[in-house]
């Protein structure tokens, strides 16, 4: 299992592994109970791939992969995500000293610690590499991402049909 295949689905607890692309979305498997479900890729809240998530800092944003690597280095001291909020903030400050305290809330820190606890036995964070510029971040089964271009047809009334003028009838709005 690789971090590039792990997603967080809004409105659903825990993390999910992308098993396969599905019709209009993905087929995902829960890392908690192993149940599979389908999620939409184009809905109002599409799944968030963890390799695309970052942490607000006072400088450039820090990728979540880097945060996980630093947490692995300090693994013995990972606090309980349901524990004291001050202890969580102090721990996160040792991991990411430059995190933006105004934009990174305690709920975000709890979520990151929970995600780390789910993934620490399943993924080797020391082997994770950042994708190069221009390289696709999400690559299912080694295939490059394909962009789908939508074709739009004209929906307005046509004024000519087969070279002959045609009278256009329109509805009146009441």
64 near 50, Cβ under 8 Å?
yes
- The predicted model scores a pTM of 0.69
Q: How confident is the model at residue 102 (pLDDT cuts 50, 70, 90)?
A: very high
Task: Identify the CATH class of 53-129.
Answer: mainly alpha
- Amino acid 104: pLDDT: 92
Domain spans, the chain: 1-52, 53-129
Average pLDDT of every residue of the chain = 78
Output the six-digit token pair for 2. 């690789």
Whether the domain at 1-52 and the domain at 53-129 fall into the same CATH topology:
no
- Amino acid 141: pLDDT: 40
Of 116 and 144, more confident = 116
**Which residue from 113, 122, 128, 126 is spatially nearest to 55, judged by alpha carbons?**
113
* CA 28, chain centre distance (Å): 13
Q: Name the CA radius of gyration of the chain, rounded.
A: 23
| Tens digit of each residue's pLDDT (9 = 90 or more) over 1-49 | 788 899 998 888 889 999 998 888 899 999 999 999 888 888 777 889 9
The CATH number that domain 1-52 falls under is 2.30.30.730
């Amino acid at each position: 299992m690789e971090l590039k295949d792990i997603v967080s689905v809004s409105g659903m607890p825990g993390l999910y592994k992308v098993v396969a692309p599905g019709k209009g979305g993905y087929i995902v498997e829960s890392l908690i109970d192993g149940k599979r479900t389908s999620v939409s890729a184009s809905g109002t809240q599409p799944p968030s791939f963890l390799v695309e998530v970052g942490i607000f800092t006072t400088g450039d944003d820090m990728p979540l992969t880097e945060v996980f690597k630093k947490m692995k280095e300090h693994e013995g001291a990972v606090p309980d995500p349901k524990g004291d909020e001050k202890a969580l903030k102090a721990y996160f400050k040792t991991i990411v000293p430059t995190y933006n305290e105004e934009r990174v809330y305690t709920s975000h820190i709890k979520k990151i610690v929970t995600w780390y606890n789910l993934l620490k036995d399943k993924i080797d964070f020391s082997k994770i590499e950042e994708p190069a510029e221009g390289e696709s971040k999400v690559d299912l089964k080694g295939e490059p991402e394909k962009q789908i271009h939508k074709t739009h047809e004209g929906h307005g009334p046509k004024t000519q049909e087969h070279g002959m003028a045609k009278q256009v009838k329109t509805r009146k709005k009441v």
